[in-house]
Amino acid sequence: MSSALTDITPIAGKTYEGFTARPMTGSFGALISGVQVADAIDNAELFSQLHAAWIDYQALFFRDQELTPAQHLALGKRFGEVQTEGYAPSLDEHPGVWVQEYPDMYQGPVSDINWHADSSFRENPTRGSLLYALDVPVAAGDTVWADAYAAYEALSDSWKSFIDPLTAIHDVATKGLHSMLDSMGGGVIAMRAALPPTEQPVVATHPESGRKMLFVSELMTREIVGMTERESRAVLDFLFAHQTRPEFQCRWHWEPNSLVLWDNYATIHRGIFDFGMTHRLMHRVSFHDGWRPSA
């Protein structure tokens, strides 16, 4: 019996000037070696090559990077407009360099243990992020990404025809409403006013690669427009389970001075919160480009 999965060709290694890219999985992700990403801030050719690899692989993984907060911010600005507002505080002297520190962040509405694409509830979602590890657990606290292209391409033609025209509501409070109420109280009302639900296509076309991708996630997608609650739940539960199958995943184990650059349009991700009260400190720069998801 044939399967749609047999139509997916494993990604081949590609050649770039200035660094080596080794594929991490059969469909996406590459371990980049032989380069310090900070050098791309003022080196247009190196930045162009890294950007090309990012579009090719969707997620780039680096070890042993020396990156100051100022360099981190400058690198993010090469990719897009840096987001200065987020769920984590910024460094006082470097707005836009978010500080993700645990166990401190457990005091807030931490809910990103479910699969998601960052800020998909906004009309213009986050384009991508640069996450840099400073102090991490020895054997816990991994992050996992899943390939939104491969998930769509592995669907049968019948499923593609069915979901291609659909839209869905993305809502920041889809999963975390109770924890938000517990931690924020009446502030939830102000948050909802500032971040209202947004209607997005279930299948979007990437603005740079031109490839189709599933644009739903367990944490952010509330319902399919035009369906009953039961119908919507059945469709979304199938898509959520399908898009996170092991063959679409890439899991990364953090070490100090590791860095990941990911495409937030073409992937979803989740943190693995298995490190309890162990200290974990990350710096993150996220950026956007003004794109509004479209089919």
Residue 76, classed as helix, strand or coil, is helix
Residues 51-66 pLDDT 10s: 999 999 999 999 999 9
CA distances from 85 to 106, 123, 175, 285 (A): 19, 15, 21, 11
Q: What is the pLDDT of residue 7?
A: 55
Q: Residue 106 belongs to what domain range?
A: 4-288
46 in any annotated domain: yes
Residues 177-222 pLDDT 10s: 545 544 545 555 666 766 789 999 999 999 999 999 999 999 999 9
CATH of the domain at 28: 3.60.130.10
- Is cis: bond before 103, omega within 30 of 0? yes
Q: How far is CA 105 from the centre of its chain?
A: 19
CA distances from 267 to 70, 107, 147 (A): 27, 28, 5
136 in any annotated domain: yes
Q: Give the predicted TM-score (pTM) of the model.
A: 0.92
Residue 246, classed as helix, strand or coil, is helix
pLDDT at 6 over 50: no
Task: Burial-class residue 6 by CB neighbours within 10 Å (0-12, 13-18, 19+).
Answer: exposed
295 in any annotated domain: no
Q: Catalytic residue numbers? A: 116, 118, 269, 284
Q: What is the rounded distance in angstroms from the CA atom of residue 227 to the CA atom of residue 161?
A: 16
Total domains, the chain: 1
71 in any annotated domain: yes
294 in any annotated domain: no
Q: What is the pLDDT of residue 5?
A: 46
40 in any annotated domain: yes
Instruction: Please state the rounded mean pLDDT for residues 102-110.
Output: 75
